[in-house]
Amino acid sequence: MGKLEGKVAVVTGAGRGIGRAIAILFAREGAKVVVNDPGVGPDGVGHDRGPADQVVEEIRAAGGTAVANYETVADYEAAGRIIQAAVDNFGRIDILVNNAGILRDRMIFNMTEEEWDAVIAVHLKGTFNCTRHASVLMRQQRYGRIINVSSESGLWGNAGQANYGAAKAGIAGFTRVVARDLGRYGVTCNAIAPRAWTRLTATIPGNVTPEQQVMIERLKRLTPEHIAPMVGYLASDDAWNINGQIFMVYGGTVALLHHPVPWRTIFKRGMWTVDEIAALMPTLLEGTRNPAPPPEELIPETARRQAQPAG
């Protein structure tokens, strides 16, 4: 008997990559699965029922139970129909995995409003849309597991991904709040920050440095199948008391990420002056680094003078 026997799951973006691996593992563990995927390209353009249908066929061929759904998570009403598909086909919803995503990478000074809106709509709004509809049913039945997909890009930044990083950071914050909203009703909400080679990571530009190429080759060894077991665990009854947590998952690694908390603090009675803060800031920031320091010629002259030894 599998860990998810008798459960009903919705997995968004399940036609390929990480979502596909999760859906297949869920079915293998006994869950009935709604495989949601509109079959868009990595940039969110197009429509193809093939990916979702293929995953459903694969699950059924292995003796599992699944149905396909082709709605977009970015539309509130369509997201409601995704959740309703679980109820209509299997009578309830126990598990929701908010995995659907697209990329529109661009440096911030070149990014268009449409590129920003499209990525936010799928990742952040899509996670809200599906969670909002599922949470009503999960609260009523006093049971549910919600697993969101965040990203290292949102947790500590990646150049050229302001839209994606903002959405993924938002999902991390969203996860922590939803955990508080729903925990009292027997519903947990957690997130993963996965690292795997998928068609989204394959969009990395070809003109990379030798060091970056080494990292890409390492990434190619990290498959979506490495991610699925942790999601399966979080979706199970064994994880009943894990709530509001974020895990980095890749290869054979599962890392519990620390929530942001004060690290170092400066304090005085009364109000600081700008000069006082300037004097103490180097101590406060000791051990940190600027992720993208400016070239020498752009360093302010006052900073150059301060950095020079006395005498």
State the catalytic residues.
151, 164, 168
Would you list the DSSP string of 139-159?
Answer: HHHT-EEEEEE--HHHHH--T
191 pairs with which residues across the strands?
A: 148, 246
SS3 78: helix
Query: What are φ and ψ of residue 219, in 5° steps?
Result: -65, -35
Question: Beta-strand (E) ranges in the chain?
Answer: 8-11, 32-36, 65-69, 95-98, 144-149, 187-194, 246-250, 253-256
Of the candidates 228, 234, 274, which has an alpha carbon nearest to the alpha carbon of residue 251? 228
Provide the β-strand partners of residue 248: 193, 255
Tell me the β-bridge partners of 22.
none
User: Positive or negative CA dihedral for 204, 206, 209, 210?
Assistant: positive
